[in-house]
Each structure stands twice: as C-alpha cells, then as structure tokens.
Amino acid sequence: MSFLAELQRHFRGELRENEPLAPRTSVKAGGAADLFARPADAGDLRVLLAAAADAEVPVTVLGGGANTLVSDEGVAGVVVKLPAWSGEAQVDEAGGTFVFGSGEPITKIPGAMKKHGLVGAEFLAGIPGTIGGACAMNAGTKNGETVRVVQAVEIASPEGARWWARDELVWRYRSCELPAGAVVTRLEVRLRRPAGEAELAASREAMEADLAYRKRTQPLHLPNSGSVFQNPPGDFAGRLIEACGLKGLRQGGAQIAEGHANWIVNLGGARAADVSFLIEKARAEVRERFGVELTPEVKRIGRWS
Ligand SMILES: Cc1cc2nc3c(=O)[nH]c(=O)nc-3n(C[C@H](O)[C@H](O)[C@H](O)COP(=O)(O)OP(=O)(O)OC[C@H]3O[C@@H](n4cnc5c(N)ncnc54)[C@H](O)[C@@H]3O)c2cc1C
C-alpha cells in the first residue's frame, strides 16, 4: 500500500497532493509539496510521524514560511503545517506562564504580554511567523532572542511527544538544535511583571519604536524573507553586501533590496532559483572581497540541485 493510502486510513486532518507552497511563504516563490498535511490534533501528528518513519518518507515542517525558500522543483515527502492550537495562561504575582501551540503567530506572545500587563518579550513584536518557527530559529533582534522567554519546549517525534526543559536544548544565534525529525508542538513561555509603571511604559515604547524602525528601514511592501544572512560576528551582512556594490542587483523577478542589502525582495514572478542565485552571488562576492563567509539565515527546503 502506498504511503498516502496507508496514511488516509488513520489520519483525520487535511491531506493534499501537489500543494503549491509559494502562497504559504512570505517571499511568494517556489514549487509544491509532494504531500501537504495539516494534522487535526497531537494524536494525528503522531500518526503522521509514525507512518512517515515506517515508510522512510522525509518530513519537513513549515511554520509561517517567513524564513523559508521552497525550491522551484518542490519538496519531496510530506510537508507538515501545524494548525493554531490555542494555548493556556496562568498569571501570578511575579508574572505569567503561557503555553502556546507552535502553529500560532509569534505576535501572540507580545499580545499576551500586553494583555496581562507583563514585560520581557518586546523584541518579538515585529517578527512574522509562527511560535514553532520562532523556537526553531531562536528568532530575535539585538534586544533579545526567543530563548530568553522560553521555559520548556514540547517536541513530537515518531516515538511520541515530551516536554524538554529549555536548557536541555542547545540554543545559538538564530538556531535551536532540535533532535532529528523533531516537530515543536508547544512552547511554555514565562513573562515577568514590571518593577513599576515606568518599566511598563518603557516596554510599550520599545515595541512601538521597533515597529516604527521596521517600517522606516525594511522593504515591507514587497514579498521577502527578512534578513537573508546571519550577521557575522562584529559586523553586518547588509553592510558587507552593500560595500560589494550589490544593492539593487536583479535576477529574474528577484532583487537585492534597494533599501536594505541583506534583504531579497520579489518584484513579481520571482522564481526560487532567482532568489537563490542572488544569495550565492552575495555570498561569493563578500567572500572574495572581505574573506568573510556569510551564513544564510533563510532555510532552503526541497529539491535543490
Ligand atoms: C518582514 C520580515 C521580518 C523579519 N524579521 C525578523 C527579525 O527581526 N528577527 C528574526 O529572527 N527573524 C526575522 N524574520 C524571519 C522570520 O520571521 C523568523 O525566522 C520566524 O521565526 C520564522 O517563523 P516561521 O514560522 O515563518 O518559520 P518557517 O519559515 O516556516 O520555518 C523556519 C524554520 O523553522 C522550522 N520550523 C518551523 N516550525 C517548526 C516546528 N513547529 N517544529 C520544528 N521546526 C519548525 C522550519 O522547518 C524551518 O527550518 C523576518 C521575516 C520577515 C519576512
């Protein structure tokens, strides 16, 4: 029996063959998933992971697609996208502990923070994507990273799901080392009560300032994946790419953004190969001119030759 037929016997969620993924990414480029699955609940995810492991079918997790470039040739195996299972909140004197489903938007964290008069997650306010993606990417800004507010991570694998304490996982700049084949299903987040009104006001101002800064400096009017490269230690990828004279460089429908050299925008009809070409071009020029090896922050998934 085929993997799909076997899966259809027990899986209750949504299954689609040849599902286009471009609309599910922020850069709006790339091909289709051979099979796209949205589990109905945690049990359904277990069914999917176990069936995929048995059939040796690769599993790729997609969150909000805000940091993902899908190959034009599509993605083999199954692409799983978790629904927005809603979380729980427990608020006490010292702060609040929140459990969020990983398919929920990142903005739910600063949203809960504001709602309960807490502080600590200001840096997440302007970051698009899902809570699972924020965990996997250790998303953040110069003002903080996701790990700072995480207490525990629930991870599902073909063997089942369990909670991992934050310090059982290895967190780095823009990454969290997850066990192979792991899917983050829930995140326990701890936010604290401000010392007083002044700290609460400063927290609100920090979020507004961050959002205003993004509007001013980022080409948000065109599809993109945010920063393409991690910043190398002590420098900025955008500065190095700009110094190579690459700002505004076009390939097909993709362009190294005029306003921010560490961003690649889709001017319309860009292929993933166009975006990938510009990534490699910037990387090669920066290597040659400055001897610096830029590490892509954007995750390329699927069939890349
Ligand atoms: C306009 C814009 C601004 C941005 N600004 C920032 C910023 O300031 N700081 C920053 O850090 N990032 C920024 N980003 C990038 C992006 O928002 C973050 O990386 C975000 O965390 C991606 O979340 P996502 O759900 O979209 O992840 P996706 O792009 O869907 O996935 C990213 C990676 O996480 C993995 N993943 C996703 N969900 C799970 C899960 N449940 N379990 C296991 N693995 C999973 C995927 O397999 C993939 O490897 C920006 C992007 C855009 C478009």
Contacts of 214 (CB under 8 A, 6+ apart): 126, 220
Q: How confident is the model at residue 84 (pLDDT cuts 50, 70, 90)?
A: confident
The CA-atom distances, in angstroms, between 78 and each of 51, 103, 254 are 11, 17, 27
Using one digit for the tens of pLDDT, what is the confidence trace for 199-253? 999 999 999 999 999 999 998 999 999 999 999 999 999 999 999 999 999 999 9
Q: What is the pLDDT of residue 86?
A: 72
Pocket of ligand 1 (CB under 6 A): 26, 61-68, 82, 102, 127-130, 132-134, 136-137, 139-141, 174, 178, 183-184, 220, 224-226, 299
CATH code 3.30.43.10 region(s) in the chain? 3-80
Contacts of 263 (CB under 8 A, 6+ apart): 218, 219, 224, 225, 226, 227, 228, 238, 256, 257
CATH class of 3-80: alpha beta
Q: What is the pLDDT of residue 46?
A: 94
Between the CA of 81 and the centroid of ligand 1 the distance, in Å, is: 13
Residue nearest to atom 52 of ligand 1 (CA): 226
Note the CATH architecture for domain 88-214: 2-Layer Sandwich (3.30)
Q: What is the pLDDT of residue 299?
A: 97
Between the CA of 130 and the centroid of ligand 1 the distance, in Å, is: 7
- Cα Rg of the chain (Å, integer): 20
* 93 has a pLDDT exceeding 90: no
* 1 has a pLDDT exceeding 80: no
Where in the sequence numbering do the catalytic residues fall? 174, 227, 297
Q: Looking at domain 219-301, which of 3.40.50.2300, 3.40.50.970, 3.20.20.80, 3.90.78.10 is its CATH number?
A: 3.90.78.10
Q: Give the separation between CA 207 and CA 79, rounded to whole angstroms.
A: 33
Q: Give the separation between CA 32 and CA 284, rounded to whole angstroms.
A: 29
Q: Give the separation between CA 61 and CA 112, rounded to whole angstroms.
A: 25
Q: What is the pLDDT of residue 87?
A: 75
Range name among 39-43, 70-74, 180-184 with the lowest pLDDT average:
180-184
Q: Which two tokens stand for residue 285?
A: 């020029």
- Using CB atoms within 10 A of its CB, is residue 36 exposed (0-12), middle (13-18) or buried (19+)? buried
Between the CA of 137 and the centroid of ligand 1 the distance, in Å, is: 6
* 116 has a pLDDT exceeding 90: yes
CATH code 3.30.465.10 region(s) in the chain? 88-214
The CA-atom distances, in angstroms, between 84 and each of 106, 177, 188, 257 are 11, 23, 15, 32
Between the CA of 133 and the centroid of ligand 1 the distance, in Å, is: 4
- pLDDT: which is higher, 152 or 179: 152
Neighbour count for residue 5 (Cβ, 10 Å): 8
Q: Which residue has the tokens 């997850």?
A: 178
Q: How confident is the model at residue 289 (pLDDT cuts 50, 70, 90)?
A: very high
Tell me the mean pLDDT in the region 33-54.
Answer: 95
Q: Give the separation between CA 292 and CA 232, rounded to whole angstroms.
A: 8
Residue nearest to atom 43 of ligand 1 (CA): 183
Q: Give the separation between CA 78 and CA 89, rounded to whole angstroms.
A: 32
Q: What is the pLDDT of residue 88?
A: 82
The reply to whether the predicted model has a pTM over 0.85 is: yes
* Mean predicted lDDT score pLDDT of the chain: 95
Q: Give the separation between CA 49 and CA 47, rounded to whole angstroms.
A: 6
Query: What residue type is assigned to position 136 of the chain?
Result: A
